[in-house]
Amino acid sequence: MERTTLDLWVGIFVVAGIAALVMLAMKVGNLSTYNVSETYQVHAYFDNIGGLKPKASIKSAGVLVGRVTEITLDSTTYKAKVTMSLDKRYQFPKDTFANINTAGLLGEQYIGLNPGGDTENLAPNGEIKRTQSAMVLEDLIGKFIYSKAEEPAK
Amino acid sequence: MAIVSALRGIGRRTVDTVWRIGLATRFFGLILFHSGNSFRRFHLIIKELFSTGVMSLIIIVVAGLFVGMVLGLQGYETLKRYGSESALGVMVALGLVRELGPVVAALLFASRAGSAMTAEIGLMKATEQVSAMEMMAVNPIARIVAPRFWAGVISMPLLAALFSAMGVFGGYFVGVVQIGVDEGSFWSQMQAAVDFKHDVMNGVLKSFVFGTVVTIIALFEGYDAPPTAEGVSGATTRTVVTSSLAILMLDFILTAMMFGGS
Protein backbone atom coordinates (compact mmCIF):
# COMPACT_ATOMS: atom_id res chain seq x y z
CA MET A 1 0.00 0.00 0.00
CA GLU A 2 1.16 3.52 -0.70
CA ARG A 3 2.82 5.42 2.05
CA THR A 4 0.30 8.31 2.11
CA THR A 5 -2.80 6.08 2.36
CA LEU A 6 -1.07 4.12 5.10
CA ASP A 7 -0.35 7.30 7.03
CA LEU A 8 -3.92 8.47 6.53
CA TRP A 9 -5.42 5.26 7.93
CA VAL A 10 -3.10 5.18 10.89
CA GLY A 11 -3.93 8.84 11.53
CA ILE A 12 -7.66 8.06 11.45
CA PHE A 13 -7.10 5.14 13.85
CA VAL A 14 -5.11 7.18 16.37
CA VAL A 15 -7.54 10.13 16.26
CA ALA A 16 -10.53 7.80 16.69
CA GLY A 17 -8.87 6.10 19.66
CA ILE A 18 -8.04 9.38 21.37
CA ALA A 19 -11.54 10.70 20.64
CA ALA A 20 -12.99 7.59 22.30
CA LEU A 21 -10.81 8.20 25.34
CA VAL A 22 -11.88 11.85 25.54
CA MET A 23 -15.49 10.79 25.21
CA LEU A 24 -15.04 8.28 28.04
CA ALA A 25 -13.50 11.01 30.17
CA MET A 26 -16.06 13.72 29.44
CA LYS A 27 -19.34 12.02 28.71
CA VAL A 28 -19.03 8.80 30.71
CA GLY A 29 -16.66 9.91 33.46
CA ASN A 30 -16.79 12.94 35.67
CA LEU A 31 -13.84 14.88 34.28
CA SER A 32 -16.13 17.62 33.00
CA THR A 33 -17.50 18.16 36.51
CA TYR A 34 -14.13 18.27 38.19
CA ASN A 35 -13.66 21.64 39.80
CA VAL A 36 -10.36 23.27 39.02
CA SER A 37 -11.18 25.92 41.60
CA GLU A 38 -9.32 25.75 44.88
CA THR A 39 -10.66 24.15 48.00
CA TYR A 40 -10.20 24.55 51.72
CA GLN A 41 -10.37 21.93 54.42
CA VAL A 42 -12.63 21.86 57.44
CA HIS A 43 -13.42 19.04 59.80
CA ALA A 44 -16.24 17.99 62.06
CA TYR A 45 -16.81 15.35 64.75
CA PHE A 46 -19.82 13.09 64.57
CA ASP A 47 -21.09 10.55 67.14
CA ASN A 48 -22.08 8.17 64.38
CA ILE A 49 -21.54 8.57 60.66
CA GLY A 50 -23.71 5.64 59.59
CA GLY A 51 -22.80 4.71 56.02
CA LEU A 52 -20.93 7.88 55.07
CA LYS A 53 -17.97 7.17 52.81
CA PRO A 54 -14.99 9.17 51.56
CA LYS A 55 -15.86 11.14 48.39
CA ALA A 56 -19.46 11.54 49.55
CA SER A 57 -20.92 14.86 48.50
CA ILE A 58 -21.42 17.87 50.73
CA LYS A 59 -24.46 19.92 49.91
CA SER A 60 -25.86 23.17 51.07
CA ALA A 61 -29.41 23.99 50.01
CA GLY A 62 -29.08 21.06 47.62
CA VAL A 63 -26.06 22.54 45.84
CA LEU A 64 -22.85 20.49 45.71
CA VAL A 65 -20.20 22.50 47.55
CA GLY A 66 -17.52 19.92 48.34
CA ARG A 67 -16.50 16.34 49.03
CA VAL A 68 -15.60 14.27 52.07
CA THR A 69 -11.86 13.60 51.88
CA GLU A 70 -11.09 11.51 54.94
CA ILE A 71 -12.89 9.71 57.76
CA THR A 72 -10.96 8.64 60.87
CA LEU A 73 -11.82 7.68 64.42
CA ASP A 74 -10.54 10.04 67.10
CA SER A 75 -9.00 7.69 69.65
CA THR A 76 -9.48 10.00 72.66
CA THR A 77 -13.13 10.94 72.25
CA TYR A 78 -14.16 7.92 70.15
CA LYS A 79 -15.95 10.16 67.75
CA ALA A 80 -15.68 10.02 63.97
CA LYS A 81 -13.58 12.82 62.53
CA VAL A 82 -14.75 13.73 59.04
CA THR A 83 -12.44 15.91 56.98
CA MET A 84 -14.05 17.69 54.06
CA SER A 85 -12.77 19.92 51.32
CA LEU A 86 -15.09 22.74 50.36
CA ASP A 87 -15.03 24.92 47.29
CA LYS A 88 -13.28 28.24 48.00
CA ARG A 89 -16.09 30.11 46.25
CA TYR A 90 -18.44 29.17 49.08
CA GLN A 91 -17.77 30.53 52.57
CA PHE A 92 -19.83 29.43 55.54
CA PRO A 93 -20.44 31.14 58.91
CA LYS A 94 -18.72 29.76 61.98
CA ASP A 95 -21.87 28.36 63.51
CA THR A 96 -22.82 26.28 60.49
CA PHE A 97 -24.72 23.13 61.30
CA ALA A 98 -23.51 19.88 59.66
CA ASN A 99 -25.81 16.89 59.57
CA ILE A 100 -25.62 13.59 57.78
CA ASN A 101 -28.60 13.12 55.51
CA THR A 102 -29.72 10.30 53.33
CA ALA A 103 -30.76 10.72 49.71
CA GLY A 104 -34.04 8.84 49.66
CA LEU A 105 -34.92 6.23 52.29
CA LEU A 106 -32.08 3.82 51.52
CA GLY A 107 -29.94 5.97 49.26
CA GLU A 108 -26.43 7.29 49.60
CA GLN A 109 -25.53 9.42 52.57
CA TYR A 110 -24.23 12.95 52.26
CA ILE A 111 -23.44 15.86 54.52
CA GLY A 112 -25.85 18.76 54.51
CA LEU A 113 -24.63 22.16 55.69
CA ASN A 114 -27.11 24.61 57.20
CA PRO A 115 -25.50 28.03 57.54
CA GLY A 116 -25.96 29.82 60.85
CA GLY A 117 -26.03 33.52 61.54
CA ASP A 118 -22.49 34.25 62.75
CA THR A 119 -20.72 37.17 61.14
CA GLU A 120 -17.36 35.40 61.10
CA ASN A 121 -16.69 32.74 58.50
CA LEU A 122 -15.18 29.28 58.93
CA ALA A 123 -11.41 29.46 58.66
CA PRO A 124 -9.42 26.91 56.60
CA ASN A 125 -8.69 23.87 58.80
CA GLY A 126 -11.45 25.07 61.10
CA GLU A 127 -13.94 22.91 62.88
CA ILE A 128 -17.69 22.71 62.45
CA LYS A 129 -18.83 22.41 66.08
CA ARG A 130 -22.49 21.76 65.66
CA THR A 131 -23.17 18.38 64.11
CA GLN A 132 -25.92 15.86 63.96
CA SER A 133 -25.24 12.15 63.50
CA ALA A 134 -26.59 9.92 60.81
CA MET A 135 -30.04 8.50 61.21
CA VAL A 136 -29.56 4.76 61.67
CA LEU A 137 -32.64 2.88 60.62
CA GLU A 138 -32.12 0.04 63.11
CA ASP A 139 -31.98 2.48 66.05
CA LEU A 140 -35.18 4.14 64.91
CA ILE A 141 -36.96 0.82 64.67
CA GLY A 142 -35.59 -0.14 68.10
CA LYS A 143 -36.89 3.10 69.64
CA PHE A 144 -40.24 2.58 68.03
CA ILE A 145 -40.56 -0.94 69.46
CA TYR A 146 -39.54 0.20 72.98
CA SER A 147 -42.03 3.05 72.95
CA LYS A 148 -44.76 0.66 71.84
CA ALA A 149 -43.85 -1.77 74.62
CA GLU A 150 -44.02 0.97 77.25
CA GLU A 151 -47.54 1.96 76.31
CA PRO A 152 -50.06 0.66 78.84
CA ALA A 153 -52.16 -2.18 77.58
CA LYS A 154 -55.71 -1.25 76.78
CA MET B 1 9.06 -47.00 38.04
CA ALA B 2 5.87 -45.40 36.76
CA ILE B 3 6.08 -42.86 39.60
CA VAL B 4 9.68 -42.00 38.75
CA SER B 5 8.87 -41.40 35.10
CA ALA B 6 5.80 -39.33 36.01
CA LEU B 7 7.93 -37.21 38.36
CA ARG B 8 10.54 -36.88 35.63
CA GLY B 9 7.83 -35.66 33.26
CA ILE B 10 6.68 -33.00 35.75
CA GLY B 11 10.26 -31.95 36.34
CA ARG B 12 11.04 -31.65 32.66
CA ARG B 13 7.94 -29.56 32.02
CA THR B 14 8.75 -27.24 34.93
CA VAL B 15 12.32 -26.76 33.78
CA ASP B 16 11.13 -26.14 30.20
CA THR B 17 8.57 -23.57 31.35
CA VAL B 18 11.10 -21.72 33.48
CA TRP B 19 13.52 -21.73 30.55
CA ARG B 20 10.91 -20.31 28.21
CA ILE B 21 9.95 -17.59 30.69
CA GLY B 22 13.60 -16.69 31.05
CA LEU B 23 14.12 -16.62 27.29
CA ALA B 24 11.02 -14.46 26.82
CA THR B 25 12.26 -12.02 29.46
CA ARG B 26 15.65 -11.79 27.76
CA PHE B 27 13.84 -11.29 24.45
CA PHE B 28 11.84 -8.44 26.05
CA GLY B 29 15.07 -6.86 27.23
CA LEU B 30 16.57 -7.16 23.73
CA ILE B 31 13.49 -5.50 22.19
CA LEU B 32 13.74 -2.57 24.61
CA PHE B 33 17.48 -2.32 23.95
CA HIS B 34 16.97 -2.13 20.17
CA SER B 35 13.90 0.14 20.31
CA GLY B 36 15.88 3.31 19.69
CA ASN B 37 16.41 2.38 16.04
CA SER B 38 12.75 1.74 15.38
CA PHE B 39 11.80 5.12 16.83
CA ARG B 40 14.34 6.78 14.58
CA ARG B 41 12.70 5.04 11.61
CA PHE B 42 9.15 5.73 12.69
CA HIS B 43 7.54 4.73 9.37
CA LEU B 44 8.27 1.11 10.30
CA ILE B 45 6.07 1.51 13.38
CA ILE B 46 3.38 3.26 11.31
CA LYS B 47 3.31 0.35 8.89
CA GLU B 48 2.82 -2.08 11.78
CA LEU B 49 0.24 0.20 13.38
CA PHE B 50 -1.74 -0.19 10.20
CA SER B 51 -1.66 -3.97 10.24
CA THR B 52 -2.28 -4.37 13.98
CA GLY B 53 -4.41 -1.33 14.84
CA VAL B 54 -6.33 -0.27 11.76
CA MET B 55 -7.05 -3.81 10.61
CA SER B 56 -8.47 -4.64 14.08
CA LEU B 57 -10.77 -1.60 14.05
CA ILE B 58 -13.82 -3.27 12.50
CA ILE B 59 -13.86 -6.31 14.79
CA ILE B 60 -13.32 -4.10 17.87
CA VAL B 61 -16.06 -1.61 16.94
CA VAL B 62 -18.63 -4.27 16.05
CA ALA B 63 -17.82 -6.43 19.07
CA GLY B 64 -17.96 -3.41 21.39
CA LEU B 65 -21.33 -2.37 20.05
CA PHE B 66 -22.83 -5.82 20.52
CA VAL B 67 -21.33 -6.36 23.98
CA GLY B 68 -22.78 -3.00 25.05
CA MET B 69 -26.18 -3.90 23.63
CA VAL B 70 -26.24 -7.23 25.46
CA LEU B 71 -25.16 -5.50 28.68
CA GLY B 72 -28.00 -3.03 28.22
CA LEU B 73 -30.59 -5.76 27.72
CA GLN B 74 -29.42 -8.03 30.54
CA GLY B 75 -28.80 -5.13 32.91
CA TYR B 76 -32.27 -3.78 32.30
CA GLU B 77 -33.87 -7.16 32.95
CA THR B 78 -32.10 -7.46 36.33
CA LEU B 79 -32.33 -3.83 37.46
CA LYS B 80 -36.05 -3.71 36.62
CA ARG B 81 -36.75 -6.17 39.45
CA TYR B 82 -35.40 -3.67 41.99
CA GLY B 83 -36.98 -0.68 40.31
CA SER B 84 -33.66 0.93 39.53
CA GLU B 85 -33.60 0.94 35.74
CA SER B 86 -32.14 4.44 35.89
CA ALA B 87 -28.87 2.90 37.12
CA LEU B 88 -28.51 1.09 33.79
CA GLY B 89 -25.98 3.64 32.56
CA VAL B 90 -23.83 3.11 35.65
CA MET B 91 -23.83 -0.64 35.18
CA VAL B 92 -23.03 -0.53 31.46
CA ALA B 93 -20.31 2.12 31.81
CA LEU B 94 -18.56 0.67 34.86
CA GLY B 95 -18.65 -2.85 33.46
CA LEU B 96 -17.17 -1.73 30.17
CA VAL B 97 -14.62 0.79 31.37
CA ARG B 98 -13.23 -1.31 34.20
CA GLU B 99 -13.40 -4.87 32.89
CA LEU B 100 -15.00 -5.75 29.60
CA GLY B 101 -13.37 -3.04 27.50
CA PRO B 102 -9.75 -3.90 28.31
CA VAL B 103 -10.26 -7.66 28.63
CA VAL B 104 -12.45 -8.42 25.61
CA ALA B 105 -10.54 -5.99 23.41
CA ALA B 106 -7.27 -7.67 24.46
CA LEU B 107 -8.70 -11.15 23.78
CA LEU B 108 -9.82 -10.03 20.31
CA PHE B 109 -6.48 -8.32 19.77
CA ALA B 110 -4.61 -11.51 20.71
CA SER B 111 -6.57 -13.63 18.26
CA ARG B 112 -6.74 -11.03 15.48
CA ALA B 113 -3.34 -9.33 15.58
CA GLY B 114 -1.24 -11.54 17.89
CA SER B 115 -1.72 -14.70 15.85
CA ALA B 116 -0.93 -12.80 12.65
CA MET B 117 2.30 -11.49 14.18
CA THR B 118 3.38 -14.98 15.26
CA ALA B 119 2.62 -16.49 11.86
CA GLU B 120 4.38 -13.69 10.01
CA ILE B 121 7.59 -13.86 12.03
CA GLY B 122 7.52 -17.67 12.17
CA LEU B 123 7.21 -17.83 8.39
CA MET B 124 9.98 -15.25 7.97
CA LYS B 125 12.16 -17.56 10.00
CA ALA B 126 11.05 -20.67 8.09
CA THR B 127 11.87 -19.06 4.76
CA GLU B 128 15.23 -17.92 6.17
CA GLN B 129 14.49 -14.21 5.77
CA VAL B 130 15.68 -13.66 9.33
CA SER B 131 19.00 -15.37 8.62
CA ALA B 132 19.32 -13.34 5.41
CA MET B 133 18.95 -10.15 7.43
CA GLU B 134 21.62 -11.27 9.85
CA MET B 135 23.88 -12.00 6.86
CA MET B 136 23.40 -8.40 5.71
CA ALA B 137 24.30 -7.18 9.22
CA VAL B 138 20.74 -5.96 9.78
CA ASN B 139 19.59 -6.75 13.29
CA PRO B 140 16.28 -8.63 12.86
CA ILE B 141 15.10 -7.62 16.34
CA ALA B 142 15.56 -3.93 15.58
CA ARG B 143 14.17 -4.25 12.04
CA ILE B 144 11.14 -6.55 12.39
CA VAL B 145 10.44 -7.24 16.07
CA ALA B 146 10.73 -3.89 17.85
CA PRO B 147 8.39 -1.96 15.46
CA ARG B 148 5.74 -4.63 15.92
CA PHE B 149 6.14 -4.47 19.68
CA TRP B 150 5.62 -0.71 19.84
CA ALA B 151 2.73 -0.86 17.37
CA GLY B 152 1.01 -3.37 19.66
CA VAL B 153 1.70 -1.35 22.80
CA ILE B 154 0.38 1.86 21.21
CA SER B 155 -2.71 0.41 19.56
CA MET B 156 -4.02 -1.70 22.46
CA PRO B 157 -5.15 1.18 24.77
CA LEU B 158 -6.69 2.99 21.79
CA LEU B 159 -8.60 -0.13 20.75
CA ALA B 160 -9.81 -0.73 24.31
CA ALA B 161 -11.02 2.88 24.58
CA LEU B 162 -12.86 2.51 21.27
CA PHE B 163 -14.40 -0.74 22.49
CA SER B 164 -15.66 0.88 25.70
CA ALA B 165 -17.01 3.94 23.90
CA MET B 166 -18.85 1.81 21.34
CA GLY B 167 -20.18 -0.37 24.15
CA VAL B 168 -21.59 2.63 25.99
CA PHE B 169 -23.32 3.68 22.77
CA GLY B 170 -24.66 0.13 22.35
CA GLY B 171 -26.04 0.20 25.88
CA TYR B 172 -27.49 3.66 25.26
CA PHE B 173 -29.12 2.46 22.06
CA VAL B 174 -30.80 -0.55 23.64
CA GLY B 175 -31.57 1.04 27.01
CA VAL B 176 -32.67 4.55 26.07
CA VAL B 177 -33.71 4.42 22.42
CA GLN B 178 -35.39 1.01 22.38
CA ILE B 179 -36.54 0.21 25.93
CA GLY B 180 -37.10 3.80 26.99
CA VAL B 181 -34.99 4.32 30.11
CA ASP B 182 -34.90 8.02 30.94
CA GLU B 183 -32.06 9.59 28.98
CA GLY B 184 -31.17 12.22 31.58
CA SER B 185 -30.79 9.76 34.44
CA PHE B 186 -28.89 7.33 32.19
CA TRP B 187 -26.12 9.87 31.55
CA SER B 188 -26.18 11.79 34.83
CA GLN B 189 -26.03 8.71 37.07
CA MET B 190 -23.25 7.36 34.86
CA GLN B 191 -21.26 10.56 35.23
CA ALA B 192 -21.83 10.63 38.96
CA ALA B 193 -20.58 7.07 39.41
CA VAL B 194 -17.66 6.80 36.95
CA ASP B 195 -14.55 8.47 38.27
CA PHE B 196 -12.01 9.53 35.66
CA LYS B 197 -8.87 8.64 37.62
CA HIS B 198 -10.16 5.59 39.44
CA ASP B 199 -12.15 3.94 36.66
CA VAL B 200 -11.18 5.27 33.24
CA MET B 201 -7.44 5.62 33.82
CA ASN B 202 -7.20 2.23 35.54
CA GLY B 203 -8.92 0.72 32.51
CA VAL B 204 -6.37 2.37 30.24
CA LEU B 205 -3.54 1.10 32.45
CA LYS B 206 -4.97 -2.41 32.24
CA SER B 207 -5.17 -2.34 28.46
CA PHE B 208 -1.60 -1.01 28.31
CA VAL B 209 -0.39 -3.98 30.39
CA PHE B 210 -2.42 -6.42 28.28
CA GLY B 211 -1.06 -4.91 25.07
CA THR B 212 2.53 -5.32 26.26
CA VAL B 213 2.00 -8.91 27.40
CA VAL B 214 0.07 -10.05 24.31
CA THR B 215 2.60 -8.54 21.92
CA ILE B 216 5.57 -9.99 23.79
CA ILE B 217 4.00 -13.46 23.79
CA ALA B 218 3.10 -13.24 20.09
CA LEU B 219 6.54 -12.00 19.04
CA PHE B 220 8.40 -14.48 21.22
CA GLU B 221 6.39 -17.45 20.00
CA GLY B 222 6.99 -16.38 16.40
CA TYR B 223 10.70 -15.79 16.90
CA ASP B 224 11.06 -19.04 18.82
CA ALA B 225 8.99 -21.22 16.44
CA PRO B 226 10.65 -24.23 14.83
CA PRO B 227 11.17 -23.24 11.17
CA THR B 228 8.67 -25.73 9.76
CA ALA B 229 5.03 -25.51 8.71
CA GLU B 230 4.06 -27.55 11.75
CA GLY B 231 6.18 -25.43 14.04
CA VAL B 232 4.57 -22.18 12.85
CA SER B 233 1.05 -23.56 13.24
CA GLY B 234 1.86 -24.80 16.75
CA ALA B 235 3.36 -21.43 17.69
CA THR B 236 0.25 -19.59 16.43
CA THR B 237 -1.99 -21.79 18.56
CA ARG B 238 0.26 -21.31 21.59
CA THR B 239 0.14 -17.53 21.11
CA VAL B 240 -3.65 -17.42 21.30
CA VAL B 241 -3.92 -19.87 24.21
CA THR B 242 -1.08 -18.42 26.29
CA SER B 243 -2.02 -14.80 25.78
CA SER B 244 -5.71 -15.43 26.51
CA LEU B 245 -4.81 -17.17 29.78
CA ALA B 246 -2.28 -14.46 30.61
CA ILE B 247 -4.89 -11.73 30.01
CA LEU B 248 -7.48 -13.36 32.26
CA MET B 249 -5.02 -14.09 35.08
CA LEU B 250 -3.39 -10.67 34.92
CA ASP B 251 -6.85 -9.09 34.89
CA PHE B 252 -7.64 -10.74 38.21
CA ILE B 253 -4.36 -9.57 39.73
CA LEU B 254 -4.73 -6.02 38.39
CA THR B 255 -8.37 -5.82 39.52
CA ALA B 256 -7.42 -7.00 43.00
CA MET B 257 -4.69 -4.35 43.15
CA MET B 258 -6.78 -1.50 41.71
CA PHE B 259 -10.27 -2.05 43.04
CA GLY B 260 -9.95 -4.67 45.77
CA GLY B 261 -9.88 -3.99 49.46
CA SER B 262 -10.91 -0.35 49.54
Question: Tell me, what's the pLDDT at B190?
Answer: 85
Cβ neighbours around A141 below 10 Å, total = 10
Is the Cβ pair B54, A9 closer than 8 Å?
yes
Write out residues 31-60 of A within 8 Å (CB-CB) of B: 31-34
Question: Tell me, what's the pLDDT at A40?
Answer: 87
Question: Tell me, what's the pLDDT at B261?
Answer: 58
Query: Is the pLDDT score of B214 beyond 90?
Result: yes
Of A6, A17, A25, the CB nearest to B46: A6
Question: Tell me, what's the pLDDT at B173?
Answer: 93
Residues of chain A with Cβ-Cβ distance to B162 below 8 Å are 16-17, 20
- Chain A: closest CA distance from residue B181 (Å): 17
Of A9, A12, A24, the CB nearest to B161: A24
Query: Is the pLDDT score of B36 beyond 80?
Result: yes
Residue B105 lies in domain: 34-258
- Chain A: closest CA distance from residue B132 (Å): 24
Nearest in space to A91 (alpha carbons), one of A121, A118, A60: A121
Q: Report if residue B27 sits inside a domain.
A: no
Is the Cβ pair B194, A31 closer than 8 Å?
no
Is the Cβ pair B164, A24 closer than 8 Å?
yes
Residues of chain B with Cβ-Cβ distance to A17 below 8 Å are 53, 155, 157-159, 161-162
Give the residue on B whose Cα is nearest the Cα of A20.
B162
The structural domains of chain A, with segments of one domain joined by +, span: 1-34, 36-142
How far is Cα B14 from Cα A105, in angstroms, rounded to an integer?
A: 58
Of B43, B50, B204, the CB nearest to A9: B50
Is the Cβ pair B50, A34 closer than 8 Å?
no
Q: Report if residue B25 sits inside a domain.
A: no
Query: Is the pLDDT score of B177 beyond 60?
Result: yes
Query: Is the pLDDT score of A3 beyond 70?
Result: yes
Cβ(B89)–Cβ(B192) below 8 Å: no
Q: Report if residue B213 sits inside a domain.
A: yes
- The tens digit of pLDDT for each residue in A33-55 reads 555 567 888 889 988 888 787 77
Average pLDDT over residues A100-112: 77
Q: Report if residue B226 sits inside a domain.
A: yes
Residue A20 at interface with chain B, using a CB cutoff of 8 Å = yes
Q: Report if residue B18 sits inside a domain.
A: no
Is the Cβ pair B191, A30 closer than 8 Å?
yes
Number of domains in chain B: 1
Question: Tell me, what's the pLDDT at A32?
Answer: 61
Q: Report if residue B19 sits inside a domain.
A: no
- HEC string of chain B equals CHHHHHHHHHHHHHHHHHHHHHHHHHHHHHHHHCHHHHHHCHHHHHHHHHHHCHHHHHHHHHHHHHHHHHHHHHHHHHHHHCCCHHHHHHHHHHHHHHHHHHHHHHHHHHHHHHHHHHHHHHHHHHCCHHHHHHHCCCCHHHHHHHHHHHHHHHHHHHHHHHHHHHHHHHHHHHHHHHHCCCHHHHHHHHHHHCCHHHHHHHHHHHHHHHHHHHHHHHHHHHHHCCCCHHHHHHHHHHHHHHHHHHHHHHHHHHHHHHCCCC
Write out residues 185-204 of B within 8 Å (CB-CB) of A: 187, 190-192, 194-196, 199-200, 204
- The tens digit of pLDDT for each residue in B94-146 reads 999 999 999 999 999 999 999 999 999 999 999 999 889 989 988 888 889 99
Question: Tell me, what's the pLDDT at A36?
Answer: 55
Residue A9 at interface with chain B, using a CB cutoff of 8 Å = yes
Of B50, B165, B204, the CB nearest to A23: B165
Question: Tell me, what's the pLDDT at A35?
Answer: 53
Whole-number average pLDDT of chain B: 90
- Residue with more model confidence, B116 or A152: B116
Q: Report if residue B84 sits inside a domain.
A: yes
Average pLDDT over residues B8-21: 92
Average pLDDT over residues A84-96: 86
Question: Tell me, what's the pLDDT at B233?
Answer: 93
Is the Cβ pair A20, B162 closer than 8 Å?
yes
Residues of chain B with Cβ-Cβ distance to A36 below 8 Å are none
Q: pLDDT grade, residue B217 (50/70/90)?
A: very high
Q: Which of A30-39, B9-18, B178-187 has the lowest mean pLDDT?
A: A30-39
Q: pLDDT grade, residue A154 (50/70/90)?
A: low
Average pLDDT over residues A126-131: 86
Is the Cβ pair A13, B155 closer than 8 Å?
yes
Residue B159 at interface with chain A, using a CB cutoff of 8 Å = yes
Is the Cβ pair A21, B204 closer than 8 Å?
yes
Residue B113 at interface with chain A, using a CB cutoff of 8 Å = no
A42 sits in which H/E element: strand A39-46
ipTM surpasses cut 0.85: no
Question: Tell me, what's the pLDDT at A141?
Answer: 87
Exposure of A140 in the CB half-sphere (CA atoms within 13 A) = 7
Please give the share of chain A, as a percent, with pLDDT higher than 90. Answer: 3
Angle at A27 between CA A26 and CA A30, to 5 degrees: 60
Average pLDDT over residues B229-237: 92
Residue B47 at interface with chain A, using a CB cutoff of 8 Å = yes
